[in-house]
Amino acid sequence: MLEINNDSMFTLSNNIFLQKIEELNKYWVFNIETGEHYSLNETSYWILEQITANISVKSMLRDFIDTYDVDEKQAKNDLDKTINKFLEEKIIEM
């Protein structure tokens, strides 16, 4: 697992497209080259939205704590785990 530091910045991979139907609580990520797609929960989608807005991990962590009312240790663990999964699946890149 890659250690994610607070100054890290990520971007969506070029072949990735996000889609949501908020009123139905449905969120997806599509790879437009391979046709692969993944269903996301609201939190994972929120993280990807932050990445598309070029938000640093430090700012993302602070906003995550405020948005989801979790303690800092849990928020950092959740962010690290989710970001690592997105890196592994090549949804995002450094």
Instruction: State pTM to two decimals.
Output: 0.92
- CA distances (Å), 32 to each of 16, 50, 63, in order? 6, 21, 30
pLDDT digits (tens, 9 = 90+) for 22-79: 899 999 999 999 999 999 999 999 999 999 999 999 999 999 999 998 999 999 999 9
Closest CA to 13 of 42, 36, 41: 36
Name the pairing type of β-strands 37-40 and 26-31.
antiparallel
pLDDT digits (tens, 9 = 90+) for 20-32: 998 999 999 999 9
Closest CA to 93 of 5, 8, 32, 13: 13
